[in-house]
Amino acid sequence: MPATTPSSSSSTLIRERISRLRAAMQQHGLAAWIVPMSDPHMSEYLPDHWAALSWLSGFTGSAGLLVITNNEAVLWVDSRYWLQAGNQLKGTGIEWAKWYPRRTDVLEWVAEHLEEGERVGVDGTVISMQQVADWRQHLAAAGCELETSVDVMDDVWDDRPALPQAEVYAHDARYVPTSCADKLARLRQVLVGEDVDGHFLSSLDDIAWLFNLRGQDVDYNPVFLAHAWVDAQRAVLFVDDSRLNEDARAVLERAGVETAPYHSVGEWLSANVSGSVLLECSKVSAYIDAQLPDGVELFDSPNPTTLFKACKEPQALAHVRNAMVQDGIALVEFLQAFEEARLRGEQWTELDIDTHLTAARARRPGFVSLSFPTIAGYNENGALPHYQATAKNFATIEGNGLLLIDSGAQYLGGTTDITRVLAIGTPSDAQCADYTTVLKGTIALSRAHFPDGIPAPMLDAIARAPLWQQNLDFGHGTGHGVGYFLNVHEGPQSISFYGRPNEVNGMREGMITSIEPGLYREGEWGIRIENLVANVRHVDNAFGSFMRFETLTLCPIDMKPIDVTLLTHEEIAWLDSYHEQVRERLLPHLSGTTREWLERNTLPLVTFKSV
Look at 444 and 102; give whichever has higher pLDDT: 444
Please tell me the CATH code under which domain 8-156 is placed.
Answer: 3.40.350.10
Nearest of 392, 368, 228, 376 to residue 304 by alpha carbon: 228
Please give the single-letter amino acid code of residue 200. F
- Judge whether residue 598 has pLDDT over 50: yes
The CA distance from 195 to 90, in Å, is 54
pLDDT at 309: 97
C-beta neighbour count of 47 within 10 angstroms: 17
The CA distance from 531 to 479, in Å, is 10
pLDDT at 8: 53
pLDDT at 4: 52
Look at 509 and 611; give whichever has higher pLDDT: 509
- Judge whether residue 197 has pLDDT over 80: yes
- Judge whether residue 329 has pLDDT over 90: yes
Mean pLDDT of 370-385: 93
User: What digits encode the pLDDT tens for the residues 107-152?
Assistant: 888 888 888 999 999 999 999 999 999 999 989 988 999 999 989 9
pLDDT at 209: 98
Find the range with the poorest average confidence among 246-260, 308-322, 492-506. Answer: 492-506
What is the CATH superfamily name and number for domain 311-610?
Creatinase/methionine aminopeptidase superfamily (3.90.230.10)
pLDDT at 193: 95
- Judge whether residue 76 has pLDDT over 60: yes
Judged by DSSP in three states, 503 sits in coil
- Judge whether residue 91 has pLDDT over 80: yes
Percent of the residues in the chain that have a pLDDT greater than 90, as a whole number: 84
pLDDT at 499: 84
Beta partners for 532?
514
pLDDT at 502: 86
Nearest of 401, 606, 608, 447 to residue 598 by alpha carbon: 608
One-character DSSP codes across 130-190: HHHHHHHHHHHHTT-EEE-S--THHHH-TTPPPPP-PPBEE--GGG-SS-HHHHHHHHHHH
C-beta neighbour count of 16 within 10 angstroms: 11
The CA distance from 316 to 486, in Å, is 12
User: What digits encode the pLDDT tens for the residues 143-189?
Assistant: 999 999 989 998 899 999 999 999 999 999 999 999 999 999 999 99
Buried b (16+ CB within 10 A) or exposed e, 575-604: bbebbeebbeebeeebeeebbebbeebbbb
Mean pLDDT of 477-503: 93
The CA distance from 339 to 334, in Å, is 9
Structure letter (DSSP) for residue 218: B
One-character DSSP codes across 75-115: EEE-GGGHHHHHHHTTTTT-EEEE--TTS-HHHHHHHHHS-
Which alpha helices (DSSP H) does 196-349 contain, by range? 204-211, 246-254, 265-272, 286-291, 304-310, 314-343
The pairing of strands 227-231 and 401-407 is unpaired
Residue by residue, what is the 3-state secondary structure of 505-527? CECCCCCEEEECCEEEECCCEEE
User: What dihedral angle (degrees, nearest 10) is formed by the CA atoms of 408, 410, 413, 415?
Assistant: 40
Mean pLDDT of 193-203: 96
Average pLDDT, the chain: 94
User: What digits encode the pLDDT tens for the residues 31-54?
Assistant: 999 999 999 999 988 899 999 999
pLDDT at 105: 78
Nearest of 39, 479, 416, 57 to residue 262 by alpha carbon: 39
Q: What separation in angstroms does the CA of 435 have from each of 18, 565, 602? A: 44, 13, 18
189: left (phi over 0), alpha (psi -120 to 50) or beta: alpha
Q: Is the dihedral of CA 599, 604, 609, 611 positive or negative?
A: negative
Confidence of residue 6 (pLDDT cuts 50, 70, 90): low
The CA distance from 172 to 46, in Å, is 25
Nearest of 575, 574, 451 to residue 509 by alpha carbon: 451
pLDDT at 1: 32
Look at 78 and 486; give whichever has higher pLDDT: 486
pLDDT at 61: 82
pLDDT at 2: 37
C-beta neighbour count of 611 within 10 angstroms: 6
Domain ranges of the chain: 8-156, 169-302, 311-610
User: What digits encode the pLDDT tens for the residues 422-437?
Assistant: 999 999 999 999 999 9
pLDDT at 241: 92
- Judge whether residue 483 has pLDDT over 80: yes
User: What dihedral angle (degrees, nearest 10) is formed by the CA atoms of 364, 484, 457, 573?
Assistant: -40
Are domains 8-156 and 169-302 of this chain identical in fold? yes
pLDDT at 120: 94
**Before 492, cis peptide (omega within 30)?**
yes
The pairing of strands 119-122 and 145-147 is parallel
pLDDT at 106: 82
Rg (C-alpha) for the chain, rounded Å, is 25
Find the range with the poorest average confidence among 51-65, 179-193, 591-605. Answer: 51-65
User: What digits encode the pLDDT tens for the residues 549-560?
Assistant: 999 999 999 999
Nearest of 547, 572, 577, 548 to residue 562 by alpha carbon: 572
pLDDT at 7: 55
Please give the single-letter amino acid code of residue 374. T
Mean pLDDT of 393-403: 95
Mean pLDDT of 400-416: 98
State residue 443 phi and psi, 5-degree precision.
Answer: -65, -40
Look at 315 and 78; give whichever has higher pLDDT: 315
The CA distance from 34 to 37, in Å, is 10
| The CATH fold of domain 169-302 | Creatine Amidinohydrolase; Chain A, domain 1 (3.40.350)
